[in-house]
Amino acid sequence: MKRPTHLIHHPYQAPTAFEAPQPGVFKASTVIFPSVASIAQRDWMQKTGYTYGLHGTPTTFTLEERLATLEGGKHCLLVPSGLAAIAHINLALLSQGDEVLLPDNAYGPNKALAAHELNRWGITTQHYDPMSVADLAHRISARTKLVWLEAPGSVTMEFPDLLGMAQLCRERGVLCALDNTWGAGLAFNAFDLLPEQPGALGVDLTAHALTKYPSGGGDVLMGSITTRRDDLAQALKLTHMRLGTGVGANDVELVLRSLPTVDLRYRAQDAAARELARWCAEQPAVAQVLHPALPGAPGHDHWTRVCMSAQEPQGLAAGIFSIVLDARFTTEQAHAFCNDLTCFKLGYSWGGPMSLVMTYQLNAIRRMGTPHLRAGHVVRLCIGLEDVADLRADLLQSMQRHLR
Ligand SMILES: *Cc1c(COP(=O)(O)O)cnc(C)c1O
C-alpha cells in the first residue's frame, strides 16, 4: 500500500474503553457497511442505524436525546437554524388546500414563509389575535391543519393564554406547534402545561432556536423540533431526509458544550433583565415596559399560570424585553438612543454573552390593532452576561443625551 493510500486506509478504530463524560465528536458523510446485505437491513429511521452522515451520527443523536429531555419530549430532530425548525414543521405537516393559523405577533420570518412559499403551494394563512382564545376559535375551520403559538410574542412580548389555546386545539383536533425559543424548556414545560396533571395538556410540537440559549455563545446557528408523538416524528424525519438539512458535528459539539450551563445562564439573564426592566419602568422617557413577568404587562396573568409554581415562586422568564419610548420622542431621537449605547450593540438574536438592542416600527410588523400597547417607538433589549450596573449606566447615559 502506498503511503498516501495508507493515510486514508489507516488502522484507526473508535475507542471503546475511553470513558470521559464529554461525548466524542463524530464527523462523517460516509458510514461503512460490512456487507451488501447489511445495507438493506439497516434502518436509518432508528437512532442505531447509521447509514449516512446527513441522517445522523452519534454526535447529533446525543444532542437530540438531551434536547428531548430538556423540553420534556420524546423525539427530537436537529436542523440548521431556528427558522429551519419552523419551516420543517410547516413543510412536513401541511399540504395543498390546508390552512395554517399564526399569531399576529409571530416571529417575522414565519409569517414571511407563510405569505410566500406556503401561499405559492396552495396553503393559506390566517393571522389571529394572540391575546384572544375566542378569536382563534372563530378562525379554526375544517381546512385548519396547524396552529402556531408563540409565548411570548415576538418584539411586543405579549404572553398568550397557552392553556386555553392548547385546550382549544385539542378539542378541535388541530395540530398545535409552539415556538419554544423563549421558554427554552426551562420556563415551562410545553408538553405538560399542567404539571400537576402529567399528560393532560400540552402542545404537539415545539420548534427551538438553539442559536439562542442552548448555544449561549452567539457563535452557532441551529434549531430543533421536539414532539412526543411517534407519527409526527416519523413524518418530520422523512421530510428532513428528503430536504437534506443535516447539521455539522462541530456546531453540535458547541451546543453540547454549552448545554450543561443553560439553566444557570437562563436564570442569571432572567434576574438581570427583570432588574433592568423594573428600572426602565421608572424612567420618564419610557411609556411602557413589555416583559411578561412584570405585573401589568400584556399577558402577565397567563405567564403566571404556566411559569410560576411552588418550585419556582418567582417564575422564570428569558432575559429579553422591550420598552415603548414616550410618544413625544421622534424616530431620530429613538435611533440616536440606540446608536449611542456602548454595552448594548445593535444586532439581531439574543441569549448570548453580549447585550443587544434593536428598534422596531410597530405598524410595519403588525396587521392587527394593538390596543394594549402605548403609542411610541419600540426598542427591544436583550440582556447578556455583563454586570447589571454597567448595563443600567449605559441605558442612563444614552437616555440623558437623547431622551430628555
Ligand atoms: C431567533 C429566533 C428564531 C430563529 O432562529 P435562527 O436560528 O436565528 O433561525 C425563531 N424563533 C424565535 C422566537 C427566535 O427568537
Whether residue 90 has its Cβ less than 6 Å from ligand 1: no
Q: Is 82 in the pocket of ligand 1 (CB under 6 A)?
A: yes
For ligand 1, the distance from its centroid to the CA atom of residue 87, given in whole angstroms, is 11
- Are residues 359 and 335 in contact, defined by beta-carbon separation less than 8 angstroms? yes
Does residue 70 have its Cβ closer than 6 Å to ligand 1?
no
- What per-residue confidence (pLDDT) applies to 356? 98
Answer yes or no: is the C-beta of 105 below 6 A from any ligand 1 atom.
Answer: no
Q: Measure CA of the first residue to CA of the last residue in the chain; give whole Å.
A: 78
DSSP letters along 328-364, please? TS-HHHHHHHHHT-SSSEE-S--SSSS-EEEEE-HHH
Query: What pLDDT is recorded for position 198?
Result: 86
Question: For the chain, where do the domains classified as CATH 3.40.640.10 start and end?
Answer: 36-259
CATH architecture of 36-259: 3-Layer(aba) Sandwich (3.40)
Q: Are 182 and 190 in contact (CB under 8 A)?
A: no
| Cα 343 to Cα 163: distance, rounded to the nearest angstrom | 38
Nearest residue CA, atom 15 of ligand 1? 181
37 CA distance to ligand 1 middle (Å): 43
pLDDT for res 196: 83
- Count of CB atoms situated within 10 Å of the CB of 194: 16
Delimiting residues of CATH 3.90.1150.10 domain(s) in the chain:
261-402
Residue from 79, 182, 212, 225 whose mutation best tests the ligand 1 pocket (most atoms within 8 A of CB): 212
Pick the residue whose CA is nearest to atom 6 on ligand 1: 82
Single-letter code of the amino acid located at 65: E
Mean pLDDT by 10 residues, the chain (404 residues): 79 78 90 93 82 93 96 98 98 98 97 98 98 98 98 97 98 98 97 89 98 97 98 97 96 96 97 98 98 97 96 96 97 97 96 96 84 94 97 98 96
Q: Where does residue 372 fall: left (phi above 0), alpha (psi -120 to 50 degrees), or beta otherwise?
A: alpha
Cα(54) to centroid(ligand 1), Å: 22
pLDDT value at residue 24: 87
How is domain 261-402 classified at the architecture level of CATH? Alpha-Beta Complex (3.90)
For 404, the grid coordinates are: 430628555
Tell me how many degrees the CA angle 375-380-382 measures, rounded to the nearest 5. 160
Ligand 1 centroid – CA 84 distance (Å): 9
3-state helix, strand, coil in the chain (%, to 5): 40, 15, 45
For 1, 6, 31, the CA distances from 11, given in Å and listed in that order, are 13, 9, 16
The angle that helices 388-402 and 331-339 make with each other, rounded to 10 degrees, is 140
pLDDT of residue 70: 96
DSSP assignment, residue 57?
-
